[in-house]
Structure 1
Amino acid sequence: MTGIFLQAFIYLIAAVVAVPIAKKLGLGSVLGYLIAGVVIGPVIGLVGDETTTIQHFAEFGVVMMLFLVGLELEPKMLWAMRNKLLGLGGLQVGLTAAIVMGIALALNQVWSVALAIGLIFALSSTAIVLQTFNEKRLTKTEGGRSAFSVLLFQDIAVIPMLAFIPLLALPELVEQAQSAAAAAADHHEEMSLVAGLPGWALGLVITGAIAGVVVGGHFLSRPLFRFVASSGLREIFTATALMLVIGIAALMSLIGLSPALGTFLAGVVLANSEFRHELESNIEPFKGLLLGLFFITVGAGINFGILFDDFFVIIGLTIGLMVLKAAILFILSLIFKIKGTARWLFTLSLAQAGEFGFVLLSFSMQNHVLPMDVAQLLSLVVAISMFLTPGLFILYDKVILPRFEKSSNDREADEIEEQGSVIIAGVGRFGQVVNRMLTANGVKTVVLDYEATQVENLRQINIKSYFGDATRPEHLHTAGIEEAALLVVSMDNQETTTELVEYVRQTYPNVKILARAFDRGHAYMLRHAGADYVVKETFHSALELGSEALRALGTHPFTVEQQKATFNRIEKDSSEKLYESWMGGEESKSYDTHYQHLFIQLEETIREAMSEDRMDRHSMTEREWTPPPKGYLDDFNDDAEDKSEEKPA
């Protein structure tokens, strides 16, 4: 028992030290786990033979991950993804397996061994790629979605691979295994429901088990979850979620299928369940810990003895595999018209072998398809390729992405064909609304933005815009700042926004400047720089949402409008005092004690005004919300009927 505690402590302390350091260095958590495993395993030898056993346990993190992936996929979504799923995914797996098999045949491998190697190397690491996508927020990008389609197809393709690999068994390995089994009197076989069954019976059992998971997940899960939820005990719901995942994994193992794919199927079935989010929140912590443990064991399991004996062969195979897969993925990105940075993200993210490679390697040895020495060598290739994958993401972040951004933004400014009375600097979400409002009322605008992709996107929806940096005087001159009546500043950068306002105020004093502020402090800076009108980007939308919240809580709409008008009026009345206090503060323009005191007074004033009964003091702005007199609607309807009767037939 003490040994178990010590081993657990070693694995945990390795993760606690290595992962935060890797994250701070921009290497990602996956590489941190792998480095931790290498340090405690081959480098200083704190862990040893138990690594393989722990890895089998940690592989359950992959099972949980696929269950969570399945929960995110509704059947409608799978159908909508069918083109990329079958096209991108199918071609990637098929081409990679075929080419790797051809190379293995050229290296004098038996055709069955070559085919098994091709299937193993065709897969990529779902765990590393999806976790890295989540950390770097790349999941919803075009490259991320395309990579996810391929990974999803690969995960599904593991099912027929597991069914097909036993047919590739080498006769000589089978004979050796039979001899060893006969010599070992205490030979132990894993539990199985399908051992010794004929092919037709095996097919029926597998079909029945899958149908049971689908039907049970659809019809029985909801009553079960409602019953458990009625207890009000969160730990019981967690136990139920674990019971579900472990039970399905056990069932799939008993019938000879992949536990990960069984739980993935269960996740897809439960994707429409109202308990989906609760299941995710309960499974996620276990998944994260087990995946981390899995990556540590991959690092700890690298056999440096075999690696150094055949160093150049293993490294050459690893690099060759990654280059080959990257080339295939790049060609597919051209065929499926994945462009720009998305193409490189798609290419680099899937260039490694995957954790299912370990599963297929183990399965292939169990079924006498691969010799032990070949399997050990291939295992190192899989592990090292996974180890190098975070480096490919670093290459994407530090080299490829900046070059694309530089090439798209360092082009010459567009030649502006016409001028308008209003120049809009920055056409993000805020600037677009302003531009639409003005153009809809016949006002000519000149829209400038320094993001080339944003300009191109707007042109696709017939919004005229130009690539140019409004902070550069020559671009402002080209846009016609001398003749413009108004400049609307809605750029994303706080400092450049303030500098632009200050420059235009000093250089073109006749131009009226309207600016968008990020917050109260930025609004003061813009006002100090010379803006004629400043609006905080979230103020009016937040005020409107707060009003809607009052209406949702049962407050009468008339009262809500009164309170909103009062809040807005007091804010405007107090803005001058707050601005003067801010100006009189330290050079850093920080909020000093006097400013804080004024702000507290503002909040007290608002609360007092809200509590007053103002039914007898309607302002002009509230006249439209004054309740109509009693009987007004009846009189209105009577007048309408009289007028309709007076009309000639």
Structure 2
Amino acid sequence: MNSFLLIAIIFISAAILFVPIAKKLGMGSVLGYLIAGIVIGPYLLGFIESGDQGQDIMHTTEFGVVIMLFLIGLELDPENLWKMRDLILRVGLFQVLVTSALIFGFAIYLDIDWRISLAVSLSMALSSTAIVLSSLKEKGQLGSPVGKMSFGVLLMQDIAVIPILAIIPLLATVSGDLAANSEVEAGLIDSLPTWAQTLSIFGAIGIIILLGKYGFGPLLKWVSKSRLRELFTASALLIVFGISWLMQVVGLSPALGAFIAGVILANSPYRHALESDLEPFKGLLLGVFFMAVGATINFNLIIADPVTIISITLGIMLVKSLVLILIGKLRKLSTGQNLSFAIGLSQVSEFSFVTYAFALQFEVIDMSLSDQLMAITALTMTFTPLASLALDKFIIPKLEKEDPITGKEDEVIHEKNQVILLGFGNFGSTVGRFLRANGVECTILDYDPDRIDFLRKMGFKVYFGDGSQVNVLKTAGADEAKILISAIDTPSQTLQVIEICKEHFPQLEVMVRAKNRYDAYELMENGVRNIYREHLDTSVRMGEDVLRKMGFRAHTIHRLAAQFKKYDEDSLQILVNFKNDEGEYIQNAKKHIEQQENLLSGELMKKFSLNDHAWDSDSLKEDS
């Protein structure tokens, strides 16, 4: 199948079909792309006729990895890196070094060549940034201790990719394979003496640094003045293409140059524009790359020796998990957090596919071993989401009853107030400040250590604690309190709070934040009546201001807004009954919207507003 358009149609169709399904099942987009590649590959539907064809596509789309490294560099602002130095250097570096050492030692014990052992162990030590961050985001845990530690480890791993890619060619050079390898594209400096090659390499890196500081900025500024978005996108691609070519000329990884350029541009005013313009290219190319990886997995090899392949897969996951559990213990994570942290990072990284291809290109490993490694990596990516689902559903709930997740030392809450406020972000802090200004003190719990430290500096008494845990609520005085306000932004955690209050604190009046109508429907189905949609009042208030500027009278605006909100709340009570039937829901929603509009714009309301002079003293009128 040689038609480019036909192959493109097949790849895109497979992605559209399988990736949403994988995400819906909680497995993440990377696994969805891999499954799509497997399905269209030579062992199932056969649209990709051979592993070699998949390899060709994979090599073509590896440029997505280069863009990814450039974008990673853009995110590594030196100032932010310094703030995260503890997590990156102590936690992340420890994980990479110890995991690599254990896998390397085991490979040497099995009498595997040290060069192969080193390349494989370094690759296997990495975890999937795409899978881990997607999972944490879906669970609302990016700001939690588990999320912060996971991000620190992933950041160190992203940085570690650079020396790994630099080491692999050296492993080939050690045995002289590089010179003999005709498949490796020769750089323009290969004929130069060793000292000249070394000087050229440092010179190329120096050129990138100088261009990053003094060249790229003026270029982007000049292009941005044209106000042509496509020209700016072309300039961003030119930077990445140019750096990649320069790195190839001196025999280094294009990803290394892209990363360096990204770090240099991290403080550039064009950083966010570069990210937004390059992100679609990265996502598309990486998606096709992962599909090509799936299409190249040798299932004959797995079927021929499933016990060995699966045993190695589980062994790698076990080694990584044990190292991460040790780190979690040292960082005083609770049992539940520690398991989430360890299982979540136990898979092998998508970037390992790149290092395998790189090692194969330089003949550090052979095709047979490459096939095995790719199969093992894909299996770890498959098993990890499944293990995480089982952990969250069956193990964590049991552990939470015995070992509430706190993420740091339990805080002693000395105060006992009539109101408990869970979550002190944008929504919760507004409620809390309003109550405090009116003499109502709250016991405030939040789950973000950085936010708590910041709020305490501002004079707020905020305690660290997971409000979805019974013991934490008891400590906060839930047995004696009258009202519990849940301003948590994670619906699943909010539902946990509601269930706990029903079972353990039935006297509490629970007042709950909902992000939208659909969250409100779910809360209503769980018996919650005090629901506050976070955007309703603000949206209506903006509408009131528009009417005021259009010349409507103050009292009329007030009454219309009150009626709109009342009718909207009434419709919420009715439409919740149809939320699982899309056809009925749409039909009834349209009916209620039409009734609402008729009510507010009918002749009676028009007549009422024209003759309504209540509130309209000179101080309340606004000139139109």
What TM-score results when the alignment is normalised by the length of structure 2?
0.73
CA contact (8 A) 1:543 1:564 kept: no
Q: How far off its partner does 1:262 sit?
A: 2.0
Residue identity matched to 1:100: I
Q: Distance in 2 between matches of 1:607 and 1:214?
A: 67
Deviation of 1:119 after TM superposition, in Å, equals 2.1
Give the secondary structure class of the aligned counterpart of 1:298. Answer: helix
Which position in structure 2 is the counterpart of 1:588? 574
Does residue 6 (structure 1) correspond to residue 1 (structure 2)? The answer is: no
In 2, the alpha carbon distance for the partners of 1:491 and 1:68 equals 34
**Selected match of 1:256 from 248, 251, 258:** 251
What amino acid sits opposite 1:240 in the alignment?
S
Structure 2 SS opposite 1:588: helix
Give the distance between the partners of 2:447 and 2:266, measured in 1 at CA: 38
Q: 1:291 aligns with which of 286, 291, 296?
A: 286
Deviates more, 1:424-433 or 1:235-244: 424-433
1:158 matches 2:153 = no
Instruction: Return closer, same or farther for 1:324/1:3 CA change in 2, 3 Å cut-off.
Output: same
Q: Which letter maps to 1:294?
A: F
Over residues 492-518 of structure 1, what are the superposed CA-to-partner deviations in whole Å (9 max), with x where a residue is unaligned?
Answer: 79x99xx99xx9xxx99xx9x997887
Q: Are the equivalent residues in 2 in contact too, given 1:214–1:269 (CA < 8 A)?
A: yes
Structure-2 residue corresponding to 1:359: 354
Tell me if 1:114 matches 2:109: no
Give the SS at the match of 1:618: coil
Match of 1:597 in 2: 598
Correspondence for 2:229 among 226, 234, 254: 234
Closer/same/farther in 2, CA of residues 534 and 307 from structure 1, 3 Å limit = closer
Match of 1:71 in 2: 74
CA gap of 1:261–1:477, structure 2 versus 1, over 3 A, is: closer
Contact 1:408–1:453 (Cα < 8 Å) also in 2: no
The 5 Å alignment of 1:40-51 reads 40-41=40-41, 42-47=43-48, 48=50, 49-51=52-54
Q: 1:196 to 1:408 in 2, by over 3 A?
A: same
Unaligned runs of 5+ in 2: 407-411, 576-588
Q: Is the 8 A contact 2:177 2:363 kept in 1?
A: no
Asked if the contact 1:249/1:259 (under 8 Å) is kept, the reply is yes
Distance 1:488 1:46 in 2: 57
Give the whole-Å Cα distance in 1 for the aligned partners of 2:283 and 2:128: 15
Aligned pairs for 1:140-289 within 5 A: 140-169=143-172, 174=176, 178=180, 190-289=185-284
> Shift of the alpha carbon at 1:256?
2.3
Q: Distance in 1 between matches of 2:513 and 2:120?
A: 59
Q: For 1:75-86, what aligned pairs fall within 5 Å after superposition?
A: 75-86=78-89
Mark the CA change 1:517 to 1:300 in structure 2 (over 3 Å): closer, same or farther. closer
1:588 maps to a residue whose letter is I
Identity %: 37
1:243 Cα deviation (Å)? 1.5
> CA 1:406–1:219 in structure 2 vs 1: closer, same or farther (change >3 Å)?
farther
Counterpart Cα distance in 1 of 2:392 and 2:531 = 36
Tell me, yes or no, if the aligned pair for 2:420 and 2:481 is still in contact at 8 Å: no
Contact 1:34/1:387 (<8 A) preserved: no
Label 1:361 to 1:606 Cα distance change in 2 as closer, same or farther (>3 A): farther
Paired with 1:68 and 1:176, the residues of 2 have a C-alpha distance of 30
Asked if the contact 1:578/1:598 (under 8 Å) is kept, the reply is no
8 Å CA contact 1:353, 1:382 repeated in 2: yes
Q: Name whichever of 371-380 and 595-604 sits farther off.
A: 595-604
Q: Which amino acid aligns with 1:194?
A: I
Task: Map 1:247-646 to 2 at 5 A.
Answer: 247-339=242-334, 342-399=337-394, 402-403=397-398, 423-424=418-419, 426-429=421-424, 462=461, 479=480, 569-574=555-560, 588=574, 591=592, 595-600=596-601, 617-619=617-619
User: Equivalents in 2 of 1:332, 1:34: separation in Å?
Assistant: 30
What are the superposed Cα offsets for residues 104-157 of structure 1, whole Å, 9 maximum, x if unpaired?
121122333333332232223334434555566554443333223223322322
Moved more, 348-357 or 37-46: 348-357
* Corresponding position of 2:581: none
- Cα gap change, 1:192 to 1:568, in 2 (>3 Å): farther
Deviation at 1:600, TM superposition (A): 3.2
CA spacing shift, 1:370–1:32, aligned 2, 3 Å: closer
Q: Alignment partner for residue 95 of structure 1, among 85, 98, 109?
A: 98
2: CA distance, partners of 1:99 / 1:464: 40
| 8 Å Cα contact 2:177-2:362 kept in structure 1 | no
Residue 324 of structure 1, CA deviation: 0.2
- Work out the CA distance in 2 between the residues paired with 1:19 and 1:385: 18
Rate the CA distance shift 1:122–1:231 in 2: closer, same or farther, 3 A: same
Tell me which residue corresponds to 1:26: 26
- Seen in structure 2, the aligned counterparts of structure 1 residues 598 and 260 have a Cα distance that, compared at 3 Å, is same
- Residue 130 to residue 211, structure 1, CA distance change in 2 (3 Å): farther
User: What's the Cα RMSD here?
Assistant: 5.3
In our comparison, the structure showing a higher alpha carbon Rg is 1
Provide structure 1 residue ranges, at least 5 long, that are not aligned to the other structure: 182-186, 482-486, 551-559, 626-649
Contact 1:490 1:516 in 2 (8 A): yes
The aligned counterpart of 1:124 is 127
Aligned CA distance change for structure 1 residues 321 and 10 (closer, same or farther; 3 Å): same
Distance change (3 Å), C-alpha of 1:83 and 1:437:
same
